[in-house]
Amino acid sequence: MNSFQEHDKKEFFQPTVNAVSIMLELPASIWLADESEKVLRAVAVTELLEGKLGNAEIPLDSQNVGVEVFMTRQVAVIESIESEKNWRFKDEVLSLGLKSAVIAPLLIKTRIAGLLVVYVPEDKPLSLEKLKPKAEASASQIAATLRHVQGVEALNNVGRLINSQIQNPQLLFKNIMQSAQQVLNCEHVSFFLKDPISGDLVLEKSSTEQLRRDRFKSGEGLAGLVVQTGKSMLVPDALKHPQYVPGLYLKAKERSMLLSPIKTENEEVIGVISADIVGLNGFDLQDLLWLETLTRQATTALQNADLYQKERDKAQALTKLGEISHDLLSIESLPDTSSVLEKREEILQTVVMKAVETMPGEYSSLRLIDHETGDLVLEAVYGSDEAKSQKAKRLKADASSINMG
């Protein structure tokens, strides 16, 4: 959640912590990990705690009971805050008449995002063992909401990038890949695009360099299977799947995978996005929905980039054609003398070279009318040796005899 601004965090989590406090009838605080600064930061606290813990921070490398919960991902029941030697901000909490607490981790699948702390006042007799499952349930709901927000945020970010980075598809793929890693909390994400000639899946972009292969035949491996079926796959134990073919150098003996096809508007599969993570059952249906949404956005990005490139090519072609017209017109102004024949030939050769660069084809030829005879004379060629051998060819300028081959 590091991409949230501080005021956004406060605005988002304050109603949440208030709701938890009302439901449990106890004060509470929500702490999120800021991994860039290596701290746990209080992003929302109930009114009682506002003057004491608002925006408080705990270094992740410090000796602290909250840090211990963060590292172990286990709920902690603190019978006596006063007796807990590793409780930070002890004086502030005790001054409010709070004597005990339950600290629950905010777990997003296997990743911990922060903590929920529920405090028990001195004057309120309450079984901490009964409070523990309630705090865990509240933490689970907060984590689920946080996961959803992170997913929506990542998708919105990709949506913005689709238009802003249309001129640089590779950078766009990189950012989509990073967004997928963030929302799926996975190690590797790879983009494969189908070679239109061979039908092979060719690696376009990957988040890792530990690649064993960068190309798969149609139908080969899990990615090839997705191309054949046109359907996404959620694979809880990838290494034991009969269709699995290693694409990475792996040390882990257990891996989970997600794969989603990149489709055109007419449902043709033109590529695959795959994600993988160490361990079994590392992904769930929510992850699959996120990846499919990201894949649809990637498809839009590909189409936009392709359209942009075509328009760019068209503009460049028009520019080249303009240059060709200018070059041809310049020939008319040259006197027909031996002193300028070399210059004339150079211009004509430039014209046919630009023609090949502008339009599809292996070679181009240029024929000009001989005004005395009316014949079409091949003046310049560019391309194959066969074309060059036609340079002296003269064609009669009537429809039945003109053969541009």
Tell me the CATH number at 241.
3.30.450.40
Q: For residue 367, how many other CB atoms are within 10 A of its CB?
A: 19
Residues 183 and 298 in one domain: yes
| Same domain, residue pair 247 and 366 | no
32 domain residue, yes or no:
yes
* Residue reference for tokens 């702390």: 117
> What's the pLDDT at 97?
94
Residue 253, SS3?
Answer: coil
Per the domain annotation, does 403 fall within a domain?
no
Count CB-CB contacts under 10 A for residue 98. 21
Task: Look at the chain and report how many structural domains it folds into.
Answer: 3
Residues 326 and 52: their CA atoms lie apart, in Å, by 78
Indicate whether 126 and 223 sit together in one domain: no
Dihedral angle sign, alpha carbons of residues 367, 369, 374, 378 = negative
Q: What pLDDT shows up at residue 315?
A: 62
- The answer to whether position 74 is within a domain reads yes
Residues 140 and 175 in one domain: no
Identify the pLDDT of residue 153: 79
Residue 97 lies in a domain: yes
Specify whether 229 is located in the same domain as 350. Answer: no
Domain that holds residue 79: 6-146
On whether both 199 and 285 belong to a single domain, the answer is yes
Q: What is the reported pLDDT for 165?
A: 58
Domain boundary among 113, 146, 179: 146
DSSP 2: T
Identity of residue 19:
A
The tens digit of pLDDT for each residue in 290-346 reads 899 888 877 777 776 665 566 566 666 667 666 666 666 666 665 555 556 667 777
Q: Are residues 142 and 172 in the same domain?
A: no
Is 320 inside any structural domain? Answer: no
Q: Name the token pair of 77.
A: 């029941």
Asked whether the CA dihedral 315, 319, 320, 325 is positive or negative, the reply is positive
Q: 78 and 173 share a domain?
A: no
- The DSSP H or E segment spanning 331 is helix 285-332
User: b or e along 110-119 (b: 16 or more beta carbons within 10 Å of the residue's beta carbon)?
Assistant: eebbbbbbbb
Q: Is residue 156 part of a domain?
A: no
Within-domain flag for 327 = no
Evaluate whether residue 321 is within a structural domain: no
Q: Are residues 74 and 31 in the same domain?
A: yes
pTM score, whole prediction: 0.64
The whole-angstrom separation of Cα 135 and Cα 74 is 12
* Residue 34 parent element (H or E): strand 28-34
Residues 29 and 136 in one domain: yes
* C-alpha of 206 from chain center: 10
In the predicted model, residues of the chain with pLDDT beneath 70 are 1-8, 161-169, 210-211, 247-252, 304-318, 320-342, 352, 356-361, 384-405
- Name the pairing type of β-strands 76-78 and 111-121: unpaired
Q: How far apart are CA 121 and CA 221, in angstroms?
A: 59
| Residue 13 exposed, middle or buried by CB count within 10 Å (0-12, 13-18, 19+) | buried
Q: Would you state the structure tokens that stand for residue 215, as one six-digit string?
A: 């190309």
Tell which of 146, 180, 204 closes a domain: 146
Maximal C-alpha separation, the chain? 115
Q: Are residues 34 and 125 in the same domain?
A: yes
What was the pLDDT predicted at 206? 79
277 and 183 share one domain: yes
Q: Distance between CA atoms of 136 and 106, rounded to whole angstroms?
A: 9
